[in-house]
Amino acid sequence: MTKWRFHPACLLFPPLGEQELQALAENIRERGLLHPITTHNKLILDGRNRLKACEIAGVEPRFEEWAGTGSPLEWAISANLHRRHLTGSQKAVLALEMLPMLEAEAKERQRLSTGRGKRSPIRLATSTAKRGKASQIAAKLTGTNSAYVEQVKSISRKAPELVEQVKVGSLTVTEAARLSKLDSFQRESFFAAKQKQPDEKFNRLIRQVLPKKEPAADADEGFFTNSTEVWCGDSLKLMRSQIVDGWANVICTSPPFNRGVNYGTYDDNRDQSEYEAWLDEVFKEFHRVLTSNGSLFLIVGHSPRHPWTALDMAKFAGKYFTLQNQIVWVKSISMNDDSQGHFTPIPGDRYLNRNWDFVFHFSKNGTAKLDRKAIGVPYVDQNNAVRSGDGDDVRCAGDVWFIPFETVHRGDERANHPATFPPELAERCLKLAGCVEGGVVLDPFCGVNGLKAANKLGINAIGIDIDQQYCEAAASAAGTTVKLFPNR
């Protein structure tokens, strides 16, 4: 058979596994090649697996030249996505690998332009590629989000070999990101352990290669000093008995809302008066353990059936704190017929989908200092940087934060926790509060993600949760162990 070369777009998708390829070859042997192989400028644009299967089956392949308009890259992506069952992680790798091709197409369009505002009748124009950053365009074409693409880009810089593992489906982006933070010896140990225990869960395997931390001294004998700890027990009782006055620089948390959410161990369906009395005691403890100039960040959701949840929570906190800032956390946004991010659809014809939640920033007297430029954004016009008077290249980004959820395909990827928030949200809060390496953070309802941000930033932290499954997940993410307080 002729030795064909492949279009770069054709090589983006991982090849079929041996069993799938043999099954395809058998089907072609019995029924013939039903769909011809598509070529473009003497390159295979689509049909690499069919070509290989024809070779195995001994069947002469059929070819047809691509007759489409627009971008051949965009066409190849569209043709393959609907028939390849790729995970969100694999789509993010695909989007990253598309970036240089999108840039090449853009240069080719520029080369073929006949003048400003005039273009020759070329077939490279594409509606998608006309606007937006390349990572956003690639994310849209592959059905993922640009934040996920940026995470894969970060992994490729730290440990490029992990990207190939994500591409073939051996790792999720989340798992690869975690492995990328380990040194090469630890990564090698992980894969050696995985080879011996192929059915073992990721978190258990990674705990085998992480250095073991010395167990912290019991709080009754010597209080927490300098590390990350996960305490399993009743948060209110543990704050009262184990945490000294004025210990935390920052409290960043999302308390239960008493809306009947199935948390597992915790009963989220209390009598309302009982819940309100409990919440009052919680905020009283928050006030006691927070430093005089510390910050409290409350991440609070709302729903059509419970529209006042967030405001009621803020009212309870306002009994002990001053509301200093209100931040809108945008989970999903639609602009110019383009949508990014994730949300939970609301059925029916009465309510709009809820695409945002509150983040309330409280302090004891409303005067907590913030490092606004730690989460700042560059000036679009550098003249404005001069006018601002400080000569800095970044400005305050404001109080609307777009932070999409990372795609999760199975509940066990987040220990079946029903109400998580992205670690990046907590990371922004900690940076804004000026809590850097050596600072101390408390998350009294840490769930599975509560300590990831503190651990990433090198900040000392205590996370508390009453559910041991969530505690195990949080400890695994932070590279530590769970300290049980069964009677407290």
The pLDDT, as a whole number, for residue 194 is 87
460, part of any domain: yes
64, part of any domain: no
433, part of any domain: yes
pLDDT in tens, 159-174: 889 988 888 888 888 7
Among 419, 461, 411, smallest CA distance to 436 is for: 461
Number of domains in the chain: 1
95, part of any domain: no
129, part of any domain: no
What distances in angstroms separate CA 256 from CA 253, 299, 313, one per listed residue? 10, 10, 10
Percent of the chain with pLDDT over 70: 80
The pLDDT, as a whole number, for residue 138 is 76
> For tokens 């809302």, what's the residue?
257
Residue 224 has pLDDT above 80, yes or no: no
Q: What is the DSSP letter of 414?
A: G
The larger pLDDT score, comparing residue 371 to residue 413, is at 371
CA-CA distance, 50 to 230, in Å (whole number)?
52
The pLDDT, as a whole number, for residue 367 is 93
pLDDT in tens, 408-451: 544 444 545 546 778 899 999 999 998 866 678 999 998 877 78
227, part of any domain: yes
The pLDDT, as a whole number, for residue 226 is 46
The pLDDT, as a whole number, for residue 122 is 43
Is pTM, for the whole model, over 0.85?
no
The pLDDT, as a whole number, for residue 183 is 80
The pLDDT, as a whole number, for residue 488 is 55
The distance of Cα 338 from the centroid of its chain, to the nearest Å, equals: 20
CA-CA distance, 464 to 282, in Å (whole number)?
13
The larger pLDDT score, comparing residue 334 to residue 413, is at 334
Q: Write out the residue range of the structural domain in which residue 478 sits.
A: 217-484
What distances in angstroms separate CA 193 from CA 53, 160, 184, 203, one per listed residue? 34, 20, 14, 12
Residue 109 has pLDDT above 90, yes or no: no
Q: How many CB atoms lie within 10 A of CB 485?
A: 18
What does DSSP say about strands 460-465 and 228-232: parallel, antiparallel, or unpaired? parallel
CA-CA distance, 54 to 33, in Å (whole number)?
8
Question: Do residues 410 and 463 make contact, with C-beta atoms less than 8 angstroms apart?
Answer: no
Percent of the chain with pLDDT over 90: 24
What distances in angstroms separate CA 167 from CA 78, 152, 211, 442, 443, one per listed residue? 18, 10, 28, 37, 35
Question: Do residues 162 and 155 make contact, with C-beta atoms less than 8 angstroms apart?
Answer: yes
The pLDDT, as a whole number, for residue 409 is 45
49, part of any domain: no
The average confidence (pLDDT) of the chain is: 80
The pLDDT, as a whole number, for residue 124 is 43
CA-CA distance, 483 to 488, in Å (whole number)?
12
- CATH code, 459: 3.40.50.150
27, part of any domain: no
pLDDT in tens, 39-97: 888 888 888 888 899 989 999 888 999 887 777 777 877 777 666 667 778 888 888 88
- Provide the 3-class DSSP secondary structure of residue 85: coil
260 pLDDT tier (thresholds 50, 70, 90):
low
